Structure 1
C-alpha cells in the first residue's frame, strides 16, 4: 500500500502501544488522522507538522507525554478539528501568533493547562471548546466572553478551579450555544443565566448562591438542567412547570430549595429523570407527574414532603427507580383495586424513614414484574439507554444518574446505577402484619430491607427463591419462630441481620450462614447455636439434612406402641404397683405429646386405649409376683 495516497487513516479503539512512528510523515495526502483510544506513549512527533493537508487530528485517550509544542500543530492552515484530550503531556501555548481561521473543534481536556489559552481570542470560527479537567483557576476572563464566535455551540469548562465570572450579570453573546458545562468548579455568586438557545446546562458541584431567576423559564429548548450540589435556595418559580415539555433531565438535589414542587402547567411531559432530593420541599407531590409516561427515575428523598403513597404513579409504564426516603409520607399503602399491573418496570423502591403503616403491600409485590424475570447482568447504566435515543445527538454530554441508599447496613452512594440492580427498602416505618409469601416471587431482588417496623409472624420459607439476594435485613421487628433452614440456599447472601426480634431455635450453619457474626442475631434470647454463646439442647439441635428424593416418615402409632412398653418396664423393674403408676404418669405425658403431634384426629380414642393397656399390663405382672 502506498501511504502517500491515503486520505483517511483511522486506527482508533485498538490496543496499539509504543510511540507514534516518525514515518507517519509519509502520509502526505492524509486528510483525517485518528489514533484515539489506544495505549500510545512518548512525545508527539514533530513530523506531524509536515502533514500540510491535515484537517482532522485526534489522539484522545492515550498515554502521550512530554511537552507538545502547540505552534507545531498550528501550522496546518486547513486544520478544522484538533483533539488532544486525556493524555499525559503538557501543552505549550504561549507566544502563539499563528491564526487558524478554519478550526472549528478544539478539544484540550486534561492537557495540564493552568490558564485560558489566549490564542482562542483569534479563533472566531470555533464551534466546540473543551478545556475541562485542567488546572485553570481564577475567574472566567471577560475577553473570552467577548470573543465573537457566532457559531459556538459547546463550551466545556468543567473540573477546573474556576471561582466565577469577572462581572455580573453574566452575558453570553453566543446565540447558538447549545451546551454549557460548568460542573465541578468553585464558582460563587448568583446562577449565570445561559442564552435562550441552550439545550444542556450543567452547573452542579459549585458554590452558587441565591434563587433561580424566573427568566430561566424562557429557555424554550432546554433538555438537561443540572444545578445539583450548590447553595441555591428559595422557592422554585411557578413557571418552572412550563419546562416539562422540553426537559428530559432535571437535577436540583443538594440545595436549599423549599416550598411546593411546581405543578406541570402543560399537558406534555418529556421528563425521563427528576432528582429533587436533599432539599426542603413540602406539601403533596404534584399530580401532574402522572402524565410523565417517559419518566424512568424519580428521587425525592430527604425532603419534608407530607403525602400518602403515590399509587397514581403506578400507571407510569417506564418508571424504574422510585426513591421517597426521609420524608413525611404516611398512611396505609392501599392495595391496587384491579388486576392492572402497577409499577411494571420498577427495579428500585426506597420508602424508608417515613410514617407508612398497615400491612406490607403483597399485591404490589405481585405486580413488580421487572423484579421477577431473569435479566442479563451486563454493565449497562440507566443514563446510557436515555442518551441512545437523545434527539440532539450532536450535543451529548457525559451525564449519569446517581443515588444514595442503605446497602448492607452502610449508606452507599451510587454515582452510576446499573440496570440490573434491584432493591426494596421499606425500613423505619410502621408496617405491621406478616411478611407476605409473595415477596418470594421477586427472584431478581438484590437488596431487601424491612428493618425497624412492627412486622410479626415467622420468616417465610419462600425467601429461599431470592437466589440473587445479597443483603437481607429483618432486624428490629416482632418476628417469631425459627430461622428457616431453607435460607441456606441463598448463596449470594453477604449481609444478614435478624437482630432484635423474638426468634427461637437453632441458627442454620451451612454455606453463607457460616460467615455471619454474632451481631446478626443479637436480641433474640431464644436463639441458640454458633455463633452465639448459648448452646442448643438435643431437642433444639438442627436435624440432619433430609434427602431431596426420599423423605421417611414412621407411623405415629408404631412410635406410641414402642413407648408403651418401654415406659411400662420402669414399673417392672421396681417390682411394685407404685413403679407401674410412675411409668403410667410418664407414659401419659409423653403419649399426650406424641398424640398432639401426630394423631390430632384420634386423640381421645387412642389416649383411652393406651391407658387401659398400660394399667392392665402393670397389674397382671404385679399379681404374678
Structure 2
C-alpha cells in the first residue's frame, strides 16, 4: 500500500462508503469525512488523525497505537465502535451515553481512567455488547444502592474484567457476563436469568456455589473463596461446556452424575479438597472433554477408563492425589515434546515392590461384580488382561512423537513389569538407572534415535525376558551374560555400529577400530 500514490485515491474519496485497510499500516491522505460509513484499520500500527467521520456507522481501529483521549465527536449515526488494544487515556466522556444507536462498543485494553456510573449504561438503549476490560484505572459506582435493578433494554454482553469492580447490580437481562479479576466479595443471588457465559474467576467471593440457569454454557468460578459441596443441581446443566471451580475451598465428593452433560463438556477443572473416587462420568455417552484437571485433591481409587473414549482429550492432570496408577497406556497417539518427568516423579505405586501383593490379588471395584480389564503390549504381543493383577505395572508410551532424553527417574520404578517407549523420537543414551528396575520383564526402546553403549549394568535385571533395542544409533560391544545370552539378532537390528554376539560383527581391538565405531 505504501507504493500507491496518494493522489490515486483522491477521486474515489467522494464516493467510497466502506474502507478496510486492516494490516496495511496505511491510510491515504484524503477527505474521507463526508461519504464514509464504515472504516476498518485493525492491526495497522496506525497513529494519524482520521478526520471528522460525520456519517460513520462503524469504526474499527483495534490493535493500533492510538493515543490521546476518546475521539467521540460524531453524531448519533455510530452503531459499532471498536477501539480496543490501543493507548487511549483519559475519562469516558458523558457524551458517550448520548450515542443512542450504539449496538457494539469495545474500549478494552487501553489506559482509561475515572468512574463509570452503572445507572447511565441503560441510556444506551440499543447496546448489545460492551467491553471495558483491562482498563485498570477505571472504577464503577452506583448513584444509589447497588441492589437497585437498573433496567436494561435487551439481553447484553458485558465484559468488565480487570476494572477494579467491588460491587455489581442485579441485572437480569444479561446473556454474557465477564467480571473476572476484580475485587468482588459477594454477588447477588442469581442476578441473571438468561445467562449463557458467566465468568467470575479471580475475585474474593465467599459462600457456597451459586447455581446458574440451565442455559449456561460456561461457568467459570475459580480462584475465589467458595466452600461447601458441589450442589446436586450442577450436573443437571445440560448445556454446560466449560466448568471451572478450581482453587476454592470446596470439599465432599465429586457428584457421580457429572456425566449428565457429557456430550458438550469440554473443560472440567476441579482443583479443591474433593475426596473419594473419580466418578465414571461419560460412561454411557460420547465424550467431548479436551482438558481435565483434578490436581491437588484427595481423590483415590482407580483412574477412570472412560477417558479412553475421549478422542479430543489434550490435557489430563491428576497430580497430588492418592490415585495408585499401575498402568499407563498412552500409545498410538500424537503426543509431542519431552517425556513428562513430573508425571513419573509422582507415580509412587510403581516405585516400590509391595511384598503383600505377592498373593496375586486382582484390581476391582467396590462391588465384586465389576473388574477392570485392559489390552497391553507385552513382550511384543497385544495381550488382553481380563483381570489385572495388583502386582502388574506397565508404562506404554509407544508410537507417539516424544522427543528428548529418557528421564533417569524411570529407574526408580522397581515394581515396573513392562516399559515400552518404542517408535518415538527419543535421543540420548539408555539410562544406567534402568539397572534398578529389578522386576522388569519387557523393555522395548526400538525405533528411536538413542545412541551410546548398551549399559553393562542391565545384566543385573535378571527378570528381563524381552529386549528390543532395534533401529537406534547404538554402538559398542553388546553385553553378554545372564538373560542377555537369550536375546537374538532381532533385539539389535538397525544399529550398524554394534558388535559382539549375537551380532554378526566381531568386536576387535578398541584402539584399532575406534575410527570405525567398533569397540
**TM more than 0.5:** yes
**2:175, 2:129 → 1: CA distance?**
10
1:263 to 280, 305, 309: 280
| Contact 2:40/2:60 (8 A) holds in 1 | yes
Provide the residue aligned with 2:165 in structure 1: 136
How far apart are 1:290 and its partner, in Å?
2.8
**1:165, 1:49 → 2: CA distance?**
37
Provide the residue aligned with 2:400 in structure 1: 369
2:191 to 159, 162, 172: 172
How far apart are 1:133 and its partner, in Å?
1.1
**2:117, 2:431 → 1: CA distance?**
59
Structure 1 position 454 matched with structure 2 position 477: no
How far apart are 1:543 and its partner, in Å?
7.4
**1:64, 1:453 → 2: CA distance?**
64
Structure 1 residues 433 and 130 mapped into 2: Cα distance closer, same or farther (>3 Å)? closer
Provide the residue aligned with 1:299 in structure 2: 317
Structure 1 residues 51 and 318 mapped into 2: Cα distance closer, same or farther (>3 Å)? farther
2:66 to 11, 35, 40: 40
Provide the residue aligned with 1:101 in structure 2: 125
Provide the residue aligned with 1:156 in structure 2: 178
| Contact 1:302/1:325 (8 A) holds in 2 | no
| Contact 2:291/2:316 (8 A) holds in 1 | yes
**1:226, 1:425 → 2: CA distance?**
33
Point out the more displaced range, 73-82 or 301-310: 301-310
| Contact 2:112/2:138 (8 A) holds in 1 | no
1:153 partner SS: strand
Structure 1 residues 307 and 182 mapped into 2: Cα distance closer, same or farther (>3 Å)? same
| Contact 1:431/1:454 (8 A) holds in 2 | no
1:443 to 425, 448, 452: 425
1:6 partner SS: coil
Provide the residue aligned with 2:36 in structure 1: 6
| Contact 1:304/1:327 (8 A) holds in 2 | no
How far apart are 1:159 and its partner, in Å?
0.8
| Contact 1:40/1:62 (8 A) holds in 2 | yes
1:448-504 Cα offsets, whole Å, 9 max, x none, are 9996982489xx99999369xxxxxxxxx97799xxxxxxx9xxxxxxxxxxxxxxx
Structure 1 residues 464 and 285 mapped into 2: Cα distance closer, same or farther (>3 Å)? closer
**2:118, 2:280 → 1: CA distance?**
55
1:29 to 51, 55, 64: 55
Structure 1 residues 432 and 450 mapped into 2: Cα distance closer, same or farther (>3 Å)? farther
**Structure 2: any 5+ residue segments left out of the alignment?**
1-12, 15-31, 144-148, 355-373, 385-389, 461-472, 474-509
| Contact 1:433/1:454 (8 A) holds in 2 | no
Structure 1 residues 59 and 545 mapped into 2: Cα distance closer, same or farther (>3 Å)? farther
How far apart are 1:270 and its partner, in Å?
2.0
Structure 1 residues 96 and 221 mapped into 2: Cα distance closer, same or farther (>3 Å)? closer
Structure 1 position 225 matched with structure 2 position 243: yes
1:369-422 Cα offsets, whole Å, 9 max, x none, are 3337xxxxxxxxxxxxxxxxxxxxxxxxxxxxxxxxxx99xxxxxxxxxxxxx9
Structure 1 residues 207 and 318 mapped into 2: Cα distance closer, same or farther (>3 Å)? farther
1:430 partner SS: coil
Structure 1 position 272 matched with structure 2 position 290: yes
How far apart are 1:13 and its partner, in Å?
1.4
How far apart are 1:6 and its partner, in Å?
1.6
Work out which of the two has the higher radius of gyration on C-alpha atoms and give 1 or 2.
Answer: 1
Structure 1 residues 248 and 340 mapped into 2: Cα distance closer, same or farther (>3 Å)? farther
Provide the residue aligned with 1:375 in structure 2: none
How far apart are 1:208 and its partner, in Å?
1.1
| Contact 2:427/2:449 (8 A) holds in 1 | no
How far apart are 1:300 and its partner, in Å?
1.4
Provide the residue aligned with 2:366 in structure 1: none
1:501-528 Cα offsets, whole Å, 9 max, x none, are xxxxxxxxxxxxxxxxxxxxxxxxxxxx
How far apart are 1:248 and its partner, in Å?
1.1
Structure 1 residues 185 and 356 mapped into 2: Cα distance closer, same or farther (>3 Å)? farther
1:540-566 Cα offsets, whole Å, 9 max, x none, are xx979965xxx499xxxxxxxxxxxxx
Structure 1 residues 324 and 121 mapped into 2: Cα distance closer, same or farther (>3 Å)? farther
| Contact 2:251/2:275 (8 A) holds in 1 | yes
1:311-342 Cα offsets, whole Å, 9 max, x none, are 4x757x67779958635545899951576799
- Equivalenced residues, count: 400
How far apart are 1:202 and its partner, in Å?
0.6
1:282 to 288, 294, 300: 300
- TM-score, with normalisation over the residues of structure 1? 0.54
Alignment of 1:514-533 (within 5 A): none
Alignment of 1:44-193 (within 5 A): 44-45=70-71, 48-65=72-89, 67-94=90-117, 99-112=123-136, 115-118=139-142, 121-137=150-166, 140-141=167-168, 144-145=169-170, 147-149=171-173, 152-166=174-188, 170-175=189-194, 177-193=195-211
**1:54, 1:545 → 2: CA distance?**
83
**2:93, 2:428 → 1: CA distance?**
51
